Amino acid sequence: MRRIRFSEAIALPLALLASPAAAAPAAPQVWQVDWEQAHCTIATGDPASLYLALWITPGDPTPEVYLVAPADRLRGGGDTIELTLGPGGKPIRASTRIRPGKAGATIVELGSLADDFPLAFMKSSEVRVSGFTAPLSIPIQGARKAIAALDQCLDQKMVEWGMDPKAYRALRAPPMPRIRGQIDWLGDDDYPPEAYNKSEEGEAVVRLSVDVRGKVTDCAVVASSGSKPIDEVTCRRALRKARYIPAVGADGRPTAAMRTVRAEFRLIY
């Protein structure tokens, strides 16, 4: 299971959207902007009641949403949950992973979201979640400024990782996996024996160069898993086995481009 360090986020208050003149001033909604080693996150709320985070790995367009709340608020969730961005959005089905958190909390990871989810999130003022015993409603006032802060993190990290953020954002689509949401070039048999024998775990983020045929021509570790064998096997397998749907340039044609991949190695006991 993924270990998520929500408690280490840096809280940065962001200005709210203007309130109607006749209404009493509302307390500013606080957003946390988390510049972690391998991802950028914006989050709001309190894990003791209800906390929402939008998580993106720089150079990978696939967003993830995390909910953290006391276990009794997140009961009844199945394999899929529906998100609705308000006002006026349509329900979005998301895959789920649910696990216990600290102090009686539950952590729900929502995946399989479309690449344009952050854009829709930016234009919204509320996230409604159905699929649990009771529906949830989470205000996201000031989401536009929160997304702007997230983009700053993404762009800076891409530069640090040897990518051109302007070139990446100019693509109609970056190189994409043949099966959405899956790394089909890594399997259980690829767990390095040296790491397994030492009970080493971790996530390696690698930068891939993918040519117009979808073949990986270069791989570099940009965020280490903390285990040299895990880092090395990730790039070795990518160069040997990975195939992607080629990137689509601004002209609509296949083009060579870079993307990142976060490869997770966890021991199951």
pLDDT tens string 122-132: 999 999 999 99
> Do 6-160 and 165-265 share a fold?
no
pLDDT at residue 269 in the model: 65
Mean model confidence pLDDT for the chain: 88
pLDDT confidence band for 247 (50 / 70 / 90): very high
> What are the φ/ψ torsions at residue 217 (nearest 5 degrees)?
-105, -15
Which residue(s) pair with 80 in the sheet? 95
For residue 4, pLDDT over 60 is answered with no
Q: How far apart are CA 81 and CA 130, in angstroms?
A: 6
Nearest of 126, 137, 136, 44 to residue 86 by alpha carbon: 126
The pTM of the full predicted model, rounded to 2 decimals, is 0.85
C-alpha closest to that of 185 among 246, 239, 221, 264: 239
Give residue limits of the domains in the chain: 6-160, 165-265
Question: For 6-160, which CATH superfamily applies?
Answer: Invasion associated locus B (IalB) protein (2.60.40.1880)
- Local confidence band at 83 (pLDDT 50, 70, 90 cut-offs): very high
Contact present, 71 and 104 (Cβ < 8 Å): yes
Q: Is the pLDDT of residue 106 over 80?
A: yes
pLDDT reported for residue 145: 95
Contacts of 80 (CB under 8 A, 6+ apart): 93, 94, 95, 96, 131
Q: Is the dihedral of CA 106, 64, 126, 31 positive or negative?
A: positive
- The answer for residues whose C-beta is within 8 angstroms of residue 39's C-beta and 6 or more apart is 55, 56, 57, 58, 262
Residue 140 — very low, low, confident or very high, per pLDDT cuts 50/70/90?
A: very high
Q: How confident is the model at residue 19 (pLDDT cuts 50, 70, 90)?
A: very low
Provide mean pLDDT across the span 177-191: 88
CATH no. of 165-265? 3.30.2420.10
